[in-house]
Amino acid sequence: MLKIRLSRVGAKKKPKYRIVVADEQTKRDGKFLEVVGHYNPLIEPAEIKVVKERYNHWLSTGAQPTKSVINLFKRYEKVSRASR
C-alpha cells in the first residue's frame, strides 16, 4: 500500500521534511516514488509547500496520507484562512 508521509532531511537539530509518496514498508528516509511537497517547521509561521495536483493524483490512485500529514494539512488550512 502506498502512503503519503514525511521524510526527514536537514542537519542535526534543524529538521526539514519532504512530503513524499512511498510504499508503507520502506524506511522513513528510504526510497520514495515522488516528492509532492516540503515542510519547514523552523521558520515562523511554518512553511508548507505542496503541489496540489500531484497530491490529489496520488490520493485518487489509492495512496493513504499518514496522521501526521493529515494534521499538518489541517493546521495549514487554519493558518491560510486566518491570513486572508
Q: Compare 82 and 45 and report the one with higher pLDDT.
A: 45
- Give the model confidence (pLDDT) of 23-80 as tens digits: 989 888 889 999 999 999 999 888 999 999 999 999 999 999 999 999 998 887 765 5
Is the N-terminal amide bond of 45 cis, ω within 30° of 0? yes
The average pLDDT across 3-21 equals: 95
Residue 75's pLDDT is 84
Decide if pLDDT at 83 tops 60: no
Query: Hey, what domains does the chain have and what are their CATH numbers?
Result: 2-82 (3.30.1320.10)
Residue 80's pLDDT is 57
Q: What is the pTM of this model?
A: 0.85
Q: Are 22 and 32 in contact (CB under 8 A)?
A: yes
